[in-house]
Structure 1
Amino acid sequence: MTTPPRLIDFHSHWGTERGWRGSPYQSAADREALRGYFKWDMGFVGEDEQAAQFRRANARVVLDFAFTHTMDAAALRDQHDYAFDYARSHSDVVLGNWIGIDPTQPGHVRELERCLREGPGLTGLAVHSFTPAGPADQPAWRPCLRLCAEAGRPVLMPVGMSATGAGTRGGMGVTLQDSHPRYVDHVAAAHPDLDVIAARVAWPWQPEMIAIALHKANVWLELHGWSPRYFPGELKHEIAKRLRKRVFFGADYPMLSHERLVQDWRDQGFAPDVLEDVFTGNAESYLASIGVR
């Protein structure tokens, strides 16, 4: 059997039921309503099996809860402790965690401070525009962005089409315009000492996202949630050219498997050295630059 390539996955979710606490998919009825869009049965695995799946895929993963901003501060801390304990127990495959908070709640901001101070591995802030604070260039986010810059940790900003609410009436209240790449541009310009990672393919605004990444040296891309088979043509072109050192692999486990995505990347005809950069090389260089091993 061929050994799978080493992967550093900058963005996946939890395969455990506990990992979906607080999300719009917490109940069986909610999961059933969205099953058709995700093409995933929304079943769960145990903590040990999740780690085993990452090991079989030869992947180190940064995990994202995505919806912990809805919790009160005590529940939020409890969920983070669950994630940090898991990361310490499975440090060979869990690289870190993206922290999602509501910056309008002082208890959440204090919890972010704790996480940046105590969280193992790569602990960064996921800025979701569907929190009460709105897009990341709004004033409520500024103290949190400063905390991340001072701690030398990145922020993750989703861009482009969101799967959250897709196919439902009203889209669960999510407005796609708030995921426009302009907000990455605003934040990166206002905080040049802050590293900003744009999450997802930026469709339908991919040319704008490419321009921002080329213009701002503190902006990187990670491409979870999409098979490269469906990447816009201009993105495929730039991955092998001007953005070659600025792209991180992201999966979106458990919706998409690492094994499937590796094969899909290979099928696009990228040169082996380009794939090596995307799968691990770019991430290793970036992590070394911020002192994460």
Structure 2
Amino acid sequence: MPIDLNKIRAIDVHVHAEISCHDPEDPVMGKFFDAASAYFKAPRERPKMPEICELYREANIAFCMFTVDCESGMGAKRVSNYEVAEVAAKNDDVCIPFASIDPHKGKYGAREAIDLIENHGVKGFKFHGIAQNAHPADKMGYPIYEVINEYKLPAIFHTGHSGMGTGMRGGGGMRLKYGQPILVDDVAVDFPDMKIILAHPSWPWVDESLSMALHKTNVFIDLSGWSPKYFPKQVIQYANTQLKHKMLFGTDFPLIHPDKWMAAAKDVGFKEEVMPGIMKDNAAKVLGLA
């Protein structure tokens, strides 16, 4: 049963599937989960995908779910994109499957992208330059971007600080420079039919994301990864004015719970009239649901 926009109250565009239903937790990822849970003051236990679907169904919220393929950059086995798609297909009243393919996989990754779109119902993609140890505009990833652009699908790019690696020795080997939003600007130019979602408020480069969303018709911002009470003031300012149609609700679940995000958002200065767009309507358009 497809998502009924009249029955849901929000669309969360940023939800992580961090463990498989079939395979044990990857020990490399486990160390990063330990540190991230401490940083976010979040529970260490990671929910499995069917549990996530049930939580969001009970909350009456649709959501985009994805893993992060960082096999090259971190040496951690990824959760299968095909497993994500399979779970989403069984929960299509609330769950929208996204995929993640390490840019280092180039043309072979592009083959996977085509298969996931054409045969498994994937509706978007997630990239994390810091975890993948990849400049977002490195040409090695362009074959994958070409597929996404051809199908006119959205792609989420991590921007700003990374909770993954925070507090670990040497940041867990992760390089924050690949989270600078302006590095995605070349991708937005070269692939104008790919809808680019810059994830998180992008601190400490917040203004770069705001500028890109103002300048490029295919660039949007999701408000995940931070409690709204910590948003820089210019994020609220632009959400209320020039970028009210470009801002998307996102949490970074399981590190931030949607109820906590929504409760905090009530007191930070969002105008009442912009909230329906932020919470649901803007994402519905980006995702092709409206």
Same fold at TM > 0.5 = yes
TM-superposed deviation, 1:208: 1.7
TM-superposed deviation, 1:20: 9.1
- Shifted more, 267-276 versus 218-227: the winner is 267-276
Tell me if structure 1 keeps the 8 A contact 2:192–2:218.
yes
Q: Identical aligned pairs, as a percentage?
A: 26
* CA 1:109–1:22: 2 relative to 1, 3 Å: farther
Q: How does 1:44-59 map to 2 (within 5 A)?
A: 44-59=46-61
Identify the residue that residue 39 of structure 2 maps to in structure 1.
Answer: 37
Identify the residue that residue 81 of structure 2 maps to in structure 1.
Answer: 80
Identify the residue that residue 99 of structure 1 maps to in structure 2.
Answer: 100
Partner Cα separation in structure 2 for residue 249 and residue 132 of structure 1: 24
TM-score for both structures, normalised by structure 2: 0.87
Tell me if structure 2 keeps the 8 A contact 1:240–1:274.
yes
**1:210-239 superposed Cα distances (whole Å, 9 cap, x missing partner):** 111111111111121111110101111100
What 5-or-longer segments of structure 2 have no aligned partner? 1-6
Identify the residue that residue 258 of structure 1 maps to in structure 2.
Answer: 258
TM-superposed deviation, 1:25: 5.9
TM-superposed deviation, 1:261: 0.8
- Please tell me the root mean square deviation across aligned C-alpha atoms, in Å: 2.7
Q: How does 1:1-293 map to 2 (within 5 A)?
A: 6-14=9-17, 18=21, 26-27=29-30, 31-67=33-69, 69-70=71-72, 79-104=80-105, 106-120=107-121, 122=123, 124-130=124-130, 134-288=134-288, 292=289
Tell me if structure 1 keeps the 8 A contact 2:130–2:177.
no
TM-score for both structures, normalised by structure 1: 0.86
Tell me if structure 2 keeps the 8 A contact 1:133–1:140.
no
- 1:237 partner SS: helix
The amino acid that maps onto 2:121 is P
Tell me if structure 1 keeps the 8 A contact 2:103–2:134.
no
* CA 1:264–1:34: 2 relative to 1, 3 Å: closer
**1:37-92 superposed Cα distances (whole Å, 9 cap, x missing partner):** 12112213354432221012211111121135459xxx86x822211111111111
What 5-or-longer segments of structure 1 have no aligned partner? none
Tell me if structure 2 keeps the 8 A contact 1:15–1:50.
no
